[in-house]
């Protein structure tokens, strides 16, 4: 039985493992966490909309009845391409086929000062930290001097893509409907939420109509939107913009870019811009027949996508589906099938009843778009219980204008 090692249990890695779980492979899934998370809703964890456990699902539960699927929680240190082994924090794993699905992490573009003080939001633990930080700032504002209170209340979000737009809208709704009830001693008219985007518009990858509408929705909610503006520095108290403006804030959420979670041991010639791994049209790592990369980490150049495919869940899932077939073809010595991305559209929510949807043959915004966004995201979440929990939280928030999860849960100081 061929050994298939999959590094990473995100959308791509998990989809591949599920597609091959009943096939004649010995599958080893290596991930630093023992769960699969749902990144599109991390911003709702950060803004107290849903529980962290609602968007996480235990890996072992998914494969309970599959004796050929083995899960190990470990940090991957490197890949030995010559001896076909993966070196991890808990030992070495040999492979016949290796699939790198390590996803992406926050890209601070080399700015160490911003990296030190900004709040990334690429994992459940980071989202919980953002929630703790923001809520603690409100608590601190109750007893702060006037000169420091504004910095505690202001929030700056960097990056006008879906994550930046969605978290900005969620925070604006909190400011409007929830925070004044929680903290009646604070005048939230003095609180500002800023969205800073380096490009000329929000949701730049969407249609022109969706981009304009998203900014209009944000401004309607009270978000101050700066486009064509970069963040030059942030020292934990002041944000300096390329326009020369300075904003006092203790909370800067960084949603401005991502880069691949790369591995040591791969030849430098395989690494492309954005720290992604260059692959051919079969998702094979350049120069290797039995090593593959899929999802956010994969950099495949095509005529339609000369800069690589979008780093979104639909690409990851489609690549996993094609690769599941190709690994079987490879074992059977049959011709491989090239990956061709079929764009199913994009969507983003801005706030209650406000969303934008770009489908291949239709574009619409508003309440109907919001309902479609909710339905599709519910369907994509793993586990009936998780779907139900998220749905109940959404309905509770919709009818009561209240998020019930405004909890500051900090880890103990004990080292585990």
User: Does the pLDDT of residue 294 top 90, yes or no?
Assistant: yes
Distance CA 360, CA 356 (A): 13
Query: Over the stretch 356-366, which tens digit does the pLDDT of each residue have?
Result: 999 988 999 99
Q: What is the pLDDT of residue 108?
A: 94
Cβ partners under 8 Å of residue 104, min gap 6: 122, 258, 259, 260, 261, 296, 297, 311
Percent of the chain at pLDDT exceeding 70: 99
What is the Cα Rg of the chain in Å?
22
CB atoms within 10 A of CB 200: 10
298: closest CA among 342, 336, 261, 337? 261
- Long-range residue pairs from 393-397, CB within 8 A, at least 24 positions apart, any chain: 393/49, 393/50, 393/51, 393/54, 394/49, 394/50, 397/49
| Residue ranges of domains in the chain, CATH in brackets | 2-43+55-106+258-331 (3.50.50.60), 112-253 (3.50.50.60)
* Residue 262 confidence (pLDDT): 83
Specify the pLDDT at position 398.
Answer: 84
Cα angle 199, 41, 382; round to 5: 140
Question: What pLDDT is attached to residue 317?
Answer: 96
Q: Note the pTM of the prediction, 2 decimals.
A: 0.93
Give the separation between CA 291 and CA 330, rounded to whole angstroms.
12
Query: According to the model, what pLDDT value does residue 385 have?
Result: 86
Give mean pLDDT, residues 316-331.
96
Residue 402 is predicted with a pLDDT of 78
- Is the confidence at residue 393, as pLDDT, over 60? yes
Instruction: Answer whether residue 415 shows pLDDT above 70.
Output: no
Specify the pLDDT at position 406.
Answer: 86
Task: Encode pLDDT of 26-51 as tens digits.
Answer: 999 999 999 999 999 999 999 999 99
What tens digit of pLDDT does each residue of 113-138 get?
999 999 999 999 999 999 999 999 99
pLDDT digits (tens, 9 = 90+) for 64-81: 989 999 999 999 999 999
Question: pLDDT category, 413, cuts 50, 70, 90?
Answer: low
């Amino acid at each position: 039985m061929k050994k298939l090692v999959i590094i990473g249990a995100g959308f791509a890695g998990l989809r591949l493992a599920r597609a091959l779980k009943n096939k004649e492979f010995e599958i080893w899934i290596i991930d630093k966490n023992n769960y699969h998370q749902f990144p599109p809703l991390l911003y709702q964890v950060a803004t107290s909309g849903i529980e962290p456990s609602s968007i996480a699902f235990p890996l072992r539960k998914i494969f309970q009845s599959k004796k050929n699927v083995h899960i190990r929680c470990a940090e991957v240190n490197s890949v030995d391409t010559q001896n076909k082994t993966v070196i991890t924090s808990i030992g070495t794993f040999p492979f016949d086929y290796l699939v790198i699905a390590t996803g992406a992490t926050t890209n601070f573009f080399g700015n160490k000062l911003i990296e030190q003080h900004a709040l990334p939001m690429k994992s459940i633990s980071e989202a919980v930290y953002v929630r703790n930080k923001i809520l603690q700032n409100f608590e601190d504002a109750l007893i702060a001097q006037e000169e420091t209170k504004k910095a505690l209340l202001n929030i700056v979000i960097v990056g006008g893509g879906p994550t930046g737009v969605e978290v900005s809208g969620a925070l604006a709704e909190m400011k409007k409907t929830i925070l004044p009830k929680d903290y009646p001693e604070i005048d939230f008219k003095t609180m500002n939420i800023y969205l800073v985007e380096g490009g000329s518009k929000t949701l730049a990858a969407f249609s022109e109509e969706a981009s304009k509408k998203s900014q209009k929705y944000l401004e309607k909610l009270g978000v101050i939107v700066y486009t064509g503006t970069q963040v030059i520095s942030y020292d934990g108290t002041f944000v300096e913009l390329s326009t020369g403006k300075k904003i006092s804030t203790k909370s800067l959420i960084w949603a401005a870019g991502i880069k691949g979670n790369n591995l040591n041991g791969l030849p430098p010639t395989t690494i492309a811009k954005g720290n992604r791994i260059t692959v051919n049209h079969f998702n094979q790592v350049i120069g290797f027949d039995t090593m593959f990369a899929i999802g956010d980490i994969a950099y495949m150049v095509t005529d339609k996508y000369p800069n690589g495919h979008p780093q979104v869940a639909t690409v990851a899932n489609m690549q996993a589906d094609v690769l599941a077939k190709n690994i079987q073809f490879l074992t059977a010595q049959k011709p491989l099938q090239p990956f061709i991305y079929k764009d199913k559209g994009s969507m983003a929510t801005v706030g209650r009843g406000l969303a934008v949807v770009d489908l291949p043959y239709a574009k619409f915004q508003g309440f109907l778009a919001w309902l479609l966004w909710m339905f599709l995201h519910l369907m994509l979440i793993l586990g009936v219980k998780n779907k139900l929990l998220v749905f109940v939280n959404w309905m509770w928030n919709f009818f009561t204008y209240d998020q019930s999860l405004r909890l500051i849960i900090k880890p103990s100081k004990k080292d585990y």
